[in-house]
Amino acid sequence: MQDAPVKTNYSAMAMVTTLFFMWGFLTCLNDILIPHLKGLFDLNYAQVMLVQFAFFTSYFVFSMPSGKLIEAVGYKRSMVAGLVTMGIGTGLFVPAAMVPSFPLFLTALVILAGGMTILQTSANPYVAVLGPPRTASSRLNLTQAFNSLGTAVAPFFGKLLILGAVAAPVAVEVFRRMAADERHIYQVQQASAIKAPYIGLAIALFILAIVIGVFKLPVIRSVEGHAQAGESIWQHKHLVLGAIGIFVYVGAEVSIGSFLVNYMHENYIAGFSLEKAAGYLTFYWTGAMIGRFIGSAVLQKVNPGFYLGGNALVACLLVVISMLSFGHVAMWTILAVGLFNSIMFPSIFTLAIDGLGHLTGKGSGLLVAAIVGGAIIPELQGLLADRIGIHHAFVLAAMCYLYIAFYGFKGSKHGHEVAAG
């Protein structure tokens, strides 16, 4: 057991980094599932966005209990509990595909996301306190870069193992003319591609739970344990504003990622097939990975609030350009947003929990609860897309980036501000 470390514990950080990769990979697979399930169950945009709604609402439901779990059993056991829960949720994709049933897919996503909530609530603050406070943003950006590595490779595997593992889906008009028995046979055949990848992922998650369980992670006294009586997370304005920042950031990032395949499928953007468009998702998530590696180095020297604000303004500008243009200009400007998304989550997170001490676990719970933005904002954008078209529905994401710029430049300032350099 130790107080706040004076230097970074790299062995513990390396082990926890594997968790970031896994939840990045699994989260990004949703972007492949969305176009697959949309055709499989003949859903409109608002209906298929229930995938993200179910997934990210779970963060809201399970986040505060996760904070209490950390107080009760510590960070390491919480990480193991999160991995086991994720393994169970991932395994449930198999019966959902065998039926197949959209409500069962949503149920599996809720359980998977519940485990991921425990993992995020414990792993993010744990990395932030594994070294000196002044380099917390740099450290979390580095581990989140491996989260982005997971999101960068997931579209490739998803395209190969899910979209590319079955015959091309029939046109919606043909699907609707099928008899009930014929439609069921077609759905079972299309859904079968989901089973093998998720069986493999479930096994990997259970193995990782065992590895984390036997690995000797340090207990850090300065943040583990119960907060003192009378202390409240709501007294910390920078934390509350940071929670709003997480809400709109995750909402914007997920909205863009969720709509990209269908966006590039449109004739006035790129006219790609769904499978080819899915391959281009890699550019979006690879940009986020590269940006986080760059950010990890830059944030050793640059004020994280200033860097966050600048990235948010550029992201907003790119979204607006995409909305006002067509063809490959519209496509590449929206894909480039990933590069500037990169440092937002880890920077907001570390700025928001700075100076919380024993309230760090509960503060982390609040921030993870705010990930529910990934459920609400894509759903709103889905409703907007059904009414004004997918092209201009991105105005919602542009507004989100404007708030993040405010938080970076002003809202994150407080008495215990992380020092630059």
| Alpha-carbon dihedral 151, 394, 306, 4, rounded to 10 degrees | -40
Q: Is residue 196 part of a domain?
A: yes
Contact 260, 58 (CB under 8 A): no
Q: Is residue 419 part of a domain?
A: no
Q: Is residue 5 part of a domain?
A: no
Q: Is residue 107 part of a domain?
A: yes
Q: Is the pLDDT of residue 166 over 80?
A: no
Domain that holds residue 197: 10-224+232-411
- Give me the number of domains the chain comprises: 1
Encode pLDDT of 224-241 as tens digits: 655 555 667 888 888 999
Distance of alpha carbon 200 from alpha carbon 90, whole angstroms: 9
Encode pLDDT of 205-223 as tens digits: 999 999 999 988 877 665 5
**pTM, two decimal places:** 0.74
Highest mean pLDDT among 129-138, 245-254, 366-375, 407-416: 245-254
CATH number at residue 301: 1.20.1250.20
Q: Is residue 420 part of a domain?
A: no
Q: Is residue 1 part of a domain?
A: no
Token look-up 């390396």 returns: 14
Encode pLDDT of 95-117 as tens digits: 998 888 889 999 999 999 999 99
Task: State mean pLDDT over 242-253.
Answer: 94
Q: Is residue 295 part of a domain?
A: yes
Q: Is residue 108 part of a domain?
A: yes
Cα 306 versus chain centre, distance: 23
